[in-house]
Amino acid sequence: MPEAPRLKLRREQAKIIEGYTHGKAGVAAVPGSGKTFTLAHLAARMIADRRLDFDRDQEVLVVTFTNSAVNSFQARIARILRDHYGLLPFVGYRVRTLHGLAHDIVRERPALVGLSDDFTILDEKSALEIQREIVAQCLPGWWDQLEGYITAEEGTNEKSARRAFEQEMPELVIRFIQRAKDMRQSPEALLAALEPIGTHRFDLVRFATQVYADYQRSLAYRGAVDFDDLVRLALEALDRDEGYLERLRARWPYILEDEAQDSSRLQEEMLTKLSGKQNWVRVGDPNQAINTTFTTADPAFLLNFLDKRKNRGVTEYALSVSGRSAGRIANLANELVRWTVEEHVSPDLRSAFNLRENKRTGVRRGIIRLTPKKDPQPNPPDSACFIHLEYQPDQKIAPEKELEMVAVGEDYALLGYLQEISALPEDQRPTIGVLVPENSRGFKLVELLRRYKIPYEELLRSTTATREAVTILRTVLEYLADPLDLKALKQIYWTLMSESRRALVNEDLELRQTLTKTFGRFQRLEDFLWPEADQSALDLGEIADEHSWLVEDLARFRQQVRRWLEAVSLPIDQLVLTIGQDLFTDLISVALTYKIAVLLRGMLQNYPDWRLPQFVEELRAIGSNERKFIGFDDAEAGYEPKPGVVTVATMHAAKGLEWDRVYLMAVSNYGFPSALPYDTYIGERWYVRDGLNLEAELVAQLEALLQKEPERAYVEGQATQRARIDYAAERLRLLYVGITRARRELIITWNIGRYSRDGQTNQPALPLVALSEYLKHQS
């Protein structure tokens, strides 16, 4: 092995990186324990130790959960190989998501699963559009069978209820198709299972299966598959050709699985096959399993792997020491776990967290341990720690009031805090995160931050950076679709102008009037873009002396527009890349431009008669959050919070990140229910009878079809009750994730929400009340 400087490792990390050689191993980590660091160093060490046969193109295979994690892992491993071991940075490993891995397997041998070499993968937009069209076509003929799900409560508007049901049904069926594919169930198999069942109790799954069958026929007609098909087809390929499976096992002799708490049934099956149950390291934190509701992801896969009674030969390693948070914050997270497991008023929720003591080592799985002295990453001192939970008995906080409290209130608000730290050097200012349960709450906070000129960045569904890049591309394409529109040409120039110069123009009336006159004096487009030789210079009068940049800026803009007009005859993806090359230099915008180009090219293949106006409409949908594409992730470069700048993110998006000061907003019983009688649930719609969760009931009907006696296996309402417990458990873990993002300071708030139909409002989440009592006793 090449000589390398000694790493500063914790004892737990060293046991894994230096101690693991082969076999099955599992790691139950805690937040901030260096999980990604440890796994990346383990991969690099395997390569450096020459455990791979490069003549046979062997690689360490790393499987992780998201596209952004793929890029982060690749960058980490490359940096370690280059800087620590002096090796080539991109040789000896492959990092993939499950879908990316499945794509590699199917693309190498498509004929094994009946696909041509040039098979296409339908993008999410096209797949959803086809599914919605089929639902819309089929639903009128099924209304008599399905109307029984509509509530008949007095005061319900029947037309409104039916309209809401019809609007919801496409999303319901789309998720059903995803689940059926996760379970490797074809529509033909489901239709055969439904044939002997005469009862109307299965009409919901019968309708969804019919849509599923029509959708698969539509895919076959196009010679395409969707992303949900890939994993299923990859497993079929491995089942059909044992020789191919053995070659892949030889290619990837070591498999490292990150975020194993989010492993799904198909991921478990895929990695079990590829590993041959040997040389497989699984790392995750069961207490951070926050992607389980209505998916086949389940922390039980990791926990069963670690259970030696069920899975012999597994070595369990611990990553229980964390230096991320101050001791008081770590203890608060530990108390949430302890209170849930030992005292939660809903017994069914006491299994939401994994809390278990290893009697041999004394380590309690699920408890964050603080760092020892001289640790390379010690916990921040408690003397610098601040915790505030905004809870008092009988307190009522309106939604708008909560936003103001966090943004500009008197005690702990962002505006005052930023003023306090403004005297610090920029690189020494604390990082700040505001975490919300869902995007809509984040958008409202962003509006307030913008109004008070509080610096911020977003990690919401589509961030401001994404929307701005998409808006710029859309504005240019909109003009190119109608190039004679001089007003649109002026709008492009305004959109492309830097923020500082735009502010300058807004503040200088004379400059603003000069720009207006400059564009206004051209009667024809060509007079501006292709002037006569003696008129090529732009005459801006005396204003040019004061703002010398303006003449050069307008001349450059003229050249750009000429290029774009000449490129209009190119295919849509090449046109977008041409525009992006002229406009963007930052890595995220460049990557976004490339992704947009690829996506629009795919749409052109599916809709060959589309012209620029249709592509402009697609960009408008992306920029306004109406559309999200598979892999359209502007966090792929890896997000690093900026000192002194507020990050607004959902709690889901915040996983894996940390800030010095963290605000958790809207911690009420609506976002964090406790399975109590007064709780309400996002998945239960007002127009459905008996409070049924239609998605849960549909999945239960699907699962019952796989039993010997489906009609006895399915009892209406049981799935809804189970879904309430599962959702409440996941939200407890989400709150835990939120708390453990904070290093030094933590503020938690809540609001009453809107009044419900029966006049009730939200209550403070039960864990918020319990943690408030804990802090009171501690003080």
User: Minimal CA–CA distance to 271: which of 262, 284, 280?
Assistant: 280
Determine the straight-line distance between the first and last CA of the chain, rounded to whole angstroms. Answer: 53
- Between 450 and 739, the higher pLDDT residue: 739
> Distance between CA 431 and CA 429 in Å, rounded?
7
**Which of the given ranges, 287-301, 397-411, 579-593, 753-767, has the highest pLDDT on average?**
397-411
The answer to whether 69 and 636 are in contact (CB under 8 A) is: no
Query: Alpha carbon 493 to chain centroid distance?
Result: 34
The answer to whether 310 and 4 are in contact (CB under 8 A) is: no
Q: State whether residue 670 is helix, strand or coil.
A: coil
Return the pLDDT at 556: 85
Structural tokens at position 724: 């309430």
What average pLDDT does the chain have? 87
Return the pLDDT at 634: 41
Q: State whether residue 436 is helix, strand or coil.
A: strand
pLDDT tens track for 236-258: 999 999 999 999 999 999 999 99
* Average pLDDT for 666-672: 92
- Between 646 and 506, the higher pLDDT residue: 646
The answer to whether 649 and 464 are in contact (CB under 8 A) is: no
**Which of the given ranges, 156-160, 592-596, 703-707, has the highest pLDDT on average?**
703-707
> Distance between CA 705 and CA 209 in Å, rounded?
11
Q: How many other CB atoms are found less than 10 A from the CB of residue 194?
A: 18
Instruction: Name 532's Cβ contacts closer than 8 Å, sequence gap at least 6.
Output: none
pLDDT at 220 over 80: yes
The answer to whether 623 and 634 are in contact (CB under 8 A) is: no
Q: Is 343 exposed, middle or buried (0-12, 13-18, 19+ CB in 10 A)?
A: exposed
The amino acid present at 657, given as its one-letter code, is L
Structural tokens at position 575: 């046109």
CA triple 510-513-518, angle to 5 deg: 125
pLDDT at 582 over 90: no
Return the pLDDT at 466: 62
Instruction: Name 482's Cβ contacts closer than 8 Å, sequence gap at least 6.
Output: 488
Instruction: Name 80's Cβ contacts closer than 8 Å, sequence gap at least 6.
Output: 40, 41, 44
pLDDT tens track for 115-146: 988 888 887 767 888 888 999 999 999 999 99
Q: How many other CB atoms are found less than 10 A from the CB of residue 548?
A: 11
Confidence of residue 636 (pLDDT cuts 50, 70, 90): very low
Q: State whether residue 744 is helix, strand or coil.
A: strand
* Average pLDDT for 420-433: 95
Return the pLDDT at 627: 47
Per cent of the chain over pLDDT 90 is 54
* Average pLDDT for 713-729: 94
CA atoms within 13 A on the CB side of 215: 33
The phi and psi torsions of 190 (rounded to 5 degrees) equal -70, -40
The answer to whether 638 and 71 are in contact (CB under 8 A) is: yes
Structural tokens at position 94: 């492959």
The phi and psi torsions of 388 (rounded to 5 degrees) equal -135, 125
Return the pLDDT at 146: 92
pLDDT at 67 over 80: no
User: Minimal CA–CA distance to 283: which of 640, 736, 726, 656?
Assistant: 656
Give 496-501's long-range contacts (Cβ < 8 A, gap of 24+): 496/472, 496/557, 496/583, 501/549, 501/553
The answer to whether 750 and 390 are in contact (CB under 8 A) is: yes
Confidence of residue 716 (pLDDT cuts 50, 70, 90): very high
pLDDT at 308 over 60: yes
Lowest mean pLDDT among 204-213, 332-341, 392-401, 531-540: 531-540
Residue indicated by tokens 């008669």: 609
For the residues of 46-79, what is the DSSP string, one character each?
A: HHHTT-S-GGGT--EEEEESSHHHHHHHHHHHHH
User: Minimal CA–CA distance to 58: which of 197, 190, 247, 226?
Assistant: 247
Return the pLDDT at 199: 80
Q: State whether residue 608 is helix, strand or coil.
A: coil
Structural tokens at position 20: 């693991």
User: Minimal CA–CA distance to 123: which of 473, 596, 472, 459?
Assistant: 596
Q: What is the pTM of this model?
A: 0.80
Cα pseudo-dihedral 436, 439, 444, 446, rounded to 10: 80
Confidence of residue 111 (pLDDT cuts 50, 70, 90): very high
CA triple 409-414-416, angle to 5 deg: 70
* Average pLDDT for 738-759: 84
* Average pLDDT for 684-697: 90
pLDDT at 628 over 50: no
